[in-house]
Each structure stands twice: as structure tokens, then as C-alpha cells.
Structure 1
Amino acid sequence: MTDNTPDAPDITPGPEERRPEQAAAVSRRRLLGAVGAGAAVAGAAVGVGGTVLARGGSSDAGGSGSGGTAKAQIVAFRDSHQAGIATPSQDRLCFATFDVTPGTTKDDLAELLKTWTAAAEAMALGKQVPGDAGDLNTPPDDTGEAVGLAPGNLTITIGYGPSLFDGRFGLAGRRPSALKVLPHLPKDNLDPDNSGGDLCVQACADDPQVAFHAVRNLRRLAFGTLVPRWMELGFGRTSSTTPQQATPRNLMGFKDGTRNIDGTDAALMGQHVWIGEEEPQRWARGGSYLVSRKIQMRLEQWDRDRLGDQQDVFGRFKSTGAPLTGKTEFDAPDFHAKSGGEYVIPTGAHIRLAAHENNNGLRILRRGYSYTDGIDPETGDLLGGLFFIAFMKSPDQFVTLQRILGRHDLLNEYIQHIGSGVFVTPPGLAAGQDWSGQLFG
């Protein structure tokens, strides 16, 4: 990729004199100078609600999106809502959080968010991060591992944690009203090294290398301004966000997310997911709140449990995904049905406790992934579980559900919440807008 913008006279220090932070600033200026053409192309590709737009091929979000024979697939970067929320769930995830480095100024952070916008938009189009590709005296503008790969329905979603709205950057007066650290919840055993963060980036794609490439390049551009806090790779989606997608299975072998909100249902999304007129901070309206939870599964213990007990834990048949009172996956569960004086769907079954019918209509949009951390060196047990991600109008929706699940869910015998995060994800960007101007106003 080449930059057709005429070069200005070079008054920057030579390679031997340039400090790393100076080199980063130069790279960012090149990137911003190359945004115009990419933004124009992106504007032509805008869809509705993060719609997948096909280029020369199918718009089916279930494709691999990688390799020379794959058909290029693009999800619109600019829209009224950020992509990666209502977008049909992709197969792979790279989720990372960052903290702002000490000494960083408001101007530093604002410049980085402009840079990130340009880079994210380019990568969503399947392009390299723009810049001067032929300058041998500076690092490449793109790390290069996604060259030749299709866009893979890449979405890049940004979020801001409660800690970003302290006194460091003049953002205290712009904190969304519901953005606060989650309270301690039943059964929490949270690792601080897998919790919190000033900012988060959720990159989803149908190709793991495309998703990782996106986060890697944003991290590279943030050198000197942000430091990574924690990161998670997801290798299998655990929910569907549209009825057209088949319901996936979690690592316990059960279908997960059968009753999830349909991301194409504007009424449900407006009622439960999108921040609305109730929010005093106008800039956050049309956004959502992201709650992440790293949930470790006791897989070895689960694998030794009898099938009948496994089904009672979830309240569903393992083979079909149907509720224990039904025959097919999408049959409505009958929470009143009894057999021999006992509820067919046990009182502690996950499906019963999480059901909106039993929680005053409360719902959230789930968008989680399975993960693995390898093997426990002491026990030899497999380490893995669910990286839970959900979007909602207020984090109180999650808190209310988790207080119930954490106390009564039969699943608690086999899981442990070990990581947590809460972030506000702003609305989508209009033409010519960037994340910097959106956040700082």
C-alpha cells in the first residue's frame, strides 16, 4: 500500500536521533494524513446496524473469511451503532484492555483515539494500516500478518472503563450515569490481573489471525500512551445474535444462547440494549454497556457427572437443546410443569433462573466465546471456560441477574468467575467523526 499524499519537507530527526515516542507520533501523523481516501471508501460501504456487506461474494457471516479462496466480507465500520454488538456473532474473538500510562496528557489520548479510528476503519475494510510503507528507516505501518487474508467480517468495538473518567483527562463531567465498577457479586473470586481497565477493544472476526492482527496493531499504535492490562482469545462463539445463526454449544456440550435477544429486533434492542434518552450524557446515547466475565469451568469434574444431572443443571436436553418440558430447541419452557410432585425444570436450573419471565422481563444481549488457558501444571486438569460478554442498557441488568444466579444456580458447582470488566461502548461514528471528538466533545 502506498501513500499518494505529497511528502512535506523532512524536518524530523534522523533514525539514530529519534526517540520511540517521536517515531510513534510521526507514524500517527502519516496515518491520519492517509485517512481521507479510506474514509471515502468506508462511507460507500455503510450499512444498517453493522450489517455484513459482501464484496464479490456471499454475505453469510458464517464463512471463514480467510485464505485466497474465501470471499471477502466486510462489516460497515460507520453506522448509528458500533459494529460488533448487534452484528451476527463471528467465530473468533480477541479482547484486550488497556490502561493509560502515567504522564499521558489529554492531548496525547485524544491524538491516539484519532489514530485508532483511522486504523480500525482501514482494517475493517481489509486494508493495511495506512502510511509510508516504503520508509526503511521506521518500523512498518502495519505488522503484515493479515496481508492476503479476507476481512473475515472483522468488527472492532471500543469501550471506556469507569477509571478513565477520573480527574486525569477532564472527563469526570462526561461520565455516563450508570458507569461504575461492578459490586462484589456472589461466588466472585476475581483476579485483578484479569479485571478492569481504562479502555477495552473487542475485535471479532471469522479468522483468528484477522482478529489478533487488529488488536496487535492498535496496541502498537498506542505505544507510549497505553499499556496492555489483560487480553483474552476466544475460539468459539457461545451465543447467536440473529435467528439465522445456528445455536452454538459451550465447552460443557450444551447449546448456549437459545433465548438470546435477536440483534435485528429494533424494539427489543431499544428496550434492553441501547442507551436511550434516559441518559443525561448525550454523547453516550445510542451506545451500550459491555460487561465481561471470565468464567472458569471445572471441566474434569463436569465430564464425570451423569447425563441426567447435567441436564438438570441447565434445564435442557443435551442432545437437542430442548427444554426439559419440550421436544425442540425453541419450544418455550414450561416452568410450572411437575412430575411426581417435583418441577420438571428444577428450581435451581440455569434456564429457570436466567429466564426473563422469572426476572420481571429483564434481558441482556449475550455475545460470549469459549477460551482455554492450557493445562493446570499442578493437577493436570484442562483449563478453560466461558469468556462471557454481554451488552445492555445498564450494568444493573447484569448485577440483578448475577445476584440470583450466584446464589441459586446449580451450575455454580462447576464454574468460578475469575475476571470481570465493565465498559461503556459509545454509539457508532458518523462520516468524518472519530473516537476522539466523540469522547472529548
Structure 2
Amino acid sequence: MTEPDATPTPDASFSRRGLLGLAAAGGIGAVAGLAAGAAIASAPDATGGTPASARYPFFGEHQAGITTPAQDRLHFAAFDLAPDATRDDLASLLADWTEAAARLTQGLEVGEAGAVGGSPYAPPDDTGEALGLPASGLTITFGFGPTLFGTADGVDRFRLAARRPAALEPLPRFSGDALVPERSGGDLCIQACADDPQVAVHAIRNLSRIAFGRAMLRWSQLGFGRTSSTSTSQTTPRNLFGFKDGTANIKAEEPDAVAEHVWVSREQGPEWLVGGSYLVARRIRMIIESWDRVQLAEQEALFGRTKGEGGPMSGGGEFAAIDLAATARDGSPVIARDAHVRLAHPETNGGIRLLRRGYNFVDGNDALGRLDAGLFFLSFQNDPEHFVTVQRSLASDGLNEYLKHVGSAVFAIPPGAHEGDSIGDTLLN
């Protein structure tokens, strides 16, 4: 079976409305088979992105949206199950979400009748704001939070406590955290990435609608301008501080590194999570107004990279190896002891590497007229403790003066589903 992170299928002739007839004739299995069987190569655009008509298979060994080339837009949402929800409600919700996601990622509407093909006396199957839009490289990734396996006071609502991965624990409190509970946690999560913001929003809106009565939205985050590349075909983007971000990120073209650092192995377990991963989400507000008054030389020293080309302060271009031992004439380290690249580097953290898929955000302004802007950090790793190690290393990061962590969550990301199965089957069956 083709994995969902394989090369996307571009075909401008397949729109959401155009594919509807095909779906109606063969059902969701026909759509999934079309996606999984496609193998037409797609050339990236000038920025390393994918054509608007790109389609990624939903079904496969791993979920899409992890090693998939990072799209430009994000809508992320965390949900809580309804207080009276049962295990059967959870299973039916995940099954309904799976069916809808398999259609949406192929450019289809949620239901066969769609936004305008049903009864005029009933709510439409689809909300309709994506009518006429191509798939735009949409990927939908699902995850399970710690509270799905048991509440903070020990209630096992869905008889899942015995299946909770030992590694799936709420993240510890880190130095400088100013977490807002309403922007943290969640029983379930959905990550929708696309190269068209309306396509990503449409996906979350319709999946939220499907959840009505079984789960409710806890918090969500819109993101734009990816802050890392997950493929060598992509150029390195910049964060809101103006620096290239994610130069040394794990790439899909590094299968050995992906296997070592991202996918949960049989040795790590549990069995239902093998081939999956763990997702850490952090909403990091940047103190933009203060940063904009920092001298260029100090900005570069804080990052440990040049602002223009993005090369390390130890010398060379963007992709030059970082020499943490390099010293200046006075014996001081060329890359400062509190520089971000030093503290986040694998050499500083026992060889740990994270696969990052973060996004910029700007959510208006606060009561003082300052931009509510920053980085919505997303990382995938096969053990959340790897993120904890790196984050603790960053406690002395000089950038912390300009950052505030206000939201936090961790989720187990199950492996991909096979055609005819639900994304929750490995856990619930």
C-alpha cells in the first residue's frame, strides 16, 4: 500500500464538484483507491510548495501531515469529548471523521449530496465554502490526548486506561511558562494543513460539525507561513523574527532519521501505536515590539545564525555544519553559550532530533496594542521525553527574553488507517 506521505497527485481536472460523481458511483473506497494508487510525479513550485491541485492519500501505513512536504497554511483544533459520551460515541466519531477526511483530502465534499445536492428542507452535507476549490495539498492528521485515557482525577471514561502509552503524559511545567488552560490540552486533536487557508478551515469546520453532540471544540489555532521545511525540495522559510527557521529539520528524504526519531517502533510500543508518533503543540507568543528594537548583531548572536543567508556564526552558508567548538581570538565561543542553535543542537541534547512543522500566527492585538503574534510550534517525535530534553536545554536560551509560552498540548498520533478501517481501530479494537 502506498504511504500517504508519498508524492502528491496533481490533476487540475479533479475539483471537489467534479470528483463528486466518481465518489457517488464507487463510494469512499473508490476515492481512496484512486488516491492510494496514484503515482504521478509533481514538480514543486518556485517556493518548494506543491501545485494547488496536489492530492495526498489519506490511507496508508503512516498518517499524512507528518513527513508530507509542509504546506503553507494550518488550522489546528483540539476537542473534548462530551461529558456523557460513551466508548461507542468515540468509535462512531472516529469512523465518521475517517470517512470525511478521506473525502476532503481528495478534493471532495463531505457527503455525496454535498452543499447543494440534497433536500432543500435539510441542512446540507457540506458547508460549501470550498466549492470549486482544488484539494490544495490538504492533509488531515488525528491525535489522542492523555485525558482520553483517563481524567486528571482518575476516571476511565472509555475503558482505555490500560492502553495508555507510558510515554503519553502531560508535559511538565517549563521555566517561563505562562500557560492559559483554555489554550492547552484536549482529548483529541486534528491538524489540517493545506496550501489554501480556506481549504484548511473548511476541513476543521466540517469535522467540528460532524462531532456535534459527541465532542466540542476546546481551542483552535490558525497558522500561516510554515516555519520549517520537511522536504529537500522546499526552501527554508522565515519566522516572525525574520530568521530562517528549521534549516536542520529532519527531512522526508532521510528515511533512516525518520525511522530513528519520528515513528514509534515495536520496541517502544504499545502495539496499537507502532508506526505512529507523538505530537507536541506549543503556542509561543513573540514579543515583537521589543525584538524590533534589538540591534542586528545581537539578534544574530541570540540565534547563532546570520539573518540574511542563515549560515551559522561559525562560518559557511545556510547548510554548513555548525562548529560549536569554534572560538574567537579572545577565546570566547563564536556561537554564544546562550545562542538558540547551540542549545537546540543534537550535540547538546544527546543526539535528539525533532521533526518540526510549525507555523507563524498573528491573532490581532492585545489590550495594550501589541501584536498577538508568534510561533505555533509543532513537533513530531517517537518519545515526548525527547522534546522535554530539548526544551529544558533551552531554559538558558537568550531568546527567552522575547518569548512567552502560552499554550501547550501533547498527543499520541496513531498509525495510518487502511481502506475500510477507521483511524481509531488500532486503539479501540
Instruction: Return the match for 2:147 from 163, 169, 182.
Output: 163
Label 1:431 to 1:35 Cα distance change in 2 as closer, same or farther (>3 A).
farther
The answer as to 2:395 corresponding to 1:414 is: no
**1-structure distance, mates of 2:257, 2:52:** 32
Contact persistence 1:92–1:237 (CA under 8 A)? yes
Mapping 1:106-125, distance limit 5 Å: 106-125=87-106
Label 1:326 to 1:103 Cα distance change in 2 as closer, same or farther (>3 A).
same
**1-structure distance, mates of 2:75, 2:269:** 32
Could you tell me which residue of structure 2 aligns to residue 273 of structure 1? 262
Contact persistence 1:58–1:71 (CA under 8 A)? no
Could you tell me which residue of structure 2 aligns to residue 98 of structure 1? 79
Could you tell me which residue of structure 2 aligns to residue 152 of structure 1? 136
The answer as to 2:118 corresponding to 1:137 is: no
Structure 1 residue 35 displacement after superposition: 10
Could you tell me which residue of structure 1 aligns to residue 385 of structure 2? 396
**More displaced stretch, 331-340 vs 188-197:** 331-340
**2-structure distance, mates of 1:297, 1:35:** 50
Aligned partner letter, 1:37: G
Kindly provide the CA deviation profile for residues 184-228 of structure 1, in whole angstroms up to 9, marking residues without a partner as x. Answer: 111111000110000000000000000000000000000011110
**2-structure distance, mates of 1:409, 1:248:** 21
Give the root-mean-square deviation of aligned CA atoms.
Answer: 2.2
Label 1:77 to 1:3 Cα distance change in 2 as closer, same or farther (>3 A).
closer
Contact persistence 2:52–2:137 (CA under 8 A)? no
**More displaced stretch, 77-86 vs 34-43:** 34-43
Could you tell me which residue of structure 2 aligns to residue 322 of structure 1? 311
Kindly provide the CA deviation profile for residues 91-146 of structure 1, in whole angstroms up to 9, marking residues without a partner as x. Answer: 00000000001111111111111111010000000000114432222211000111
Could you tell me which residue of structure 2 aligns to residue 370 of structure 1? 360
2:36 aligns to what SS in structure 1? Answer: coil
Instruction: Return the match for 2:59 from 54, 57, 78.
Output: 78
2:424 aligns to what SS in structure 1? Answer: helix
**1-structure distance, mates of 2:292, 2:346:** 29
**1-structure distance, mates of 2:31, 2:428:** 26
**2-structure distance, mates of 1:42, 1:275:** 25
**1-structure distance, mates of 2:139, 2:256:** 23
**1-structure distance, mates of 2:332, 2:414:** 46
1:247 aligns to what SS in structure 2? Answer: coil
Structure 1 residue 435 displacement after superposition: 1.8
Mapping 1:253-272, distance limit 5 Å: 253-272=242-261
- Structure 1 unaligned spans of 5+: 6-32
Structure 1 residue 283 displacement after superposition: 1.1
1:386 aligns to what SS in structure 2? Answer: strand
Structure 1 residue 59 displacement after superposition: 5.8
Task: Report the count of equivalent residues.
Answer: 403
**2-structure distance, mates of 1:421, 1:119:** 25
**2-structure distance, mates of 1:34, 1:357:** 54
Mapping 1:62-77, distance limit 5 Å: 72-77=53-58
Aligned partner letter, 2:216: V
* Identical pairs, percent: 51
**1-structure distance, mates of 2:213, 2:46:** 36
The answer as to 2:336 corresponding to 1:346 is: yes
Contact persistence 1:154–1:204 (CA under 8 A)? yes
Label 1:264 to 1:3 Cα distance change in 2 as closer, same or farther (>3 A).
closer
Could you tell me which residue of structure 2 aligns to residue 438 of structure 1? 426
Contact persistence 1:53–1:59 (CA under 8 A)? no
**1-structure distance, mates of 2:275, 2:95:** 20
**2-structure distance, mates of 1:431, 1:204:** 21
Could you tell me which residue of structure 2 aligns to residue 127 of structure 1? 108
Structure 1 residue 173 displacement after superposition: 1.6
1:107 aligns to what SS in structure 2? Answer: helix
Structure 1 residue 299 displacement after superposition: 0.4
**2-structure distance, mates of 1:35, 1:348:** 60
**2-structure distance, mates of 1:235, 1:180:** 29
The answer as to 2:36 corresponding to 1:46 is: yes
Label 1:80 to 1:301 Cα distance change in 2 as closer, same or farther (>3 A).
same
Contact persistence 1:54–1:73 (CA under 8 A)? no
Contact persistence 2:118–2:125 (CA under 8 A)? no
Aligned partner letter, 2:178: N
Kindly provide the CA deviation profile for residues 310-343 of structure 1, in whole angstroms up to 9, marking residues without a partner as x. Answer: 0000000001100011131001111111112211
Could you tell me which residue of structure 2 aligns to residue 206 of structure 1? 195
Contact persistence 2:137–2:194 (CA under 8 A)? yes
Provide TM-score, normalisation by structure 2. 0.90
Contact persistence 2:44–2:233 (CA under 8 A)? no
**2-structure distance, mates of 1:63, 1:35:** 36
1:189 aligns to what SS in structure 2? Answer: coil
**2-structure distance, mates of 1:35, 1:106:** 32
Report the structure number with the largest CA radius of gyration.
Answer: 1
**2-structure distance, mates of 1:365, 1:183:** 20
1:373 aligns to what SS in structure 2? Answer: strand
Could you tell me which residue of structure 1 aligns to residue 7 of structure 2? none
Could you tell me which residue of structure 2 aligns to residue 24 of structure 1? none
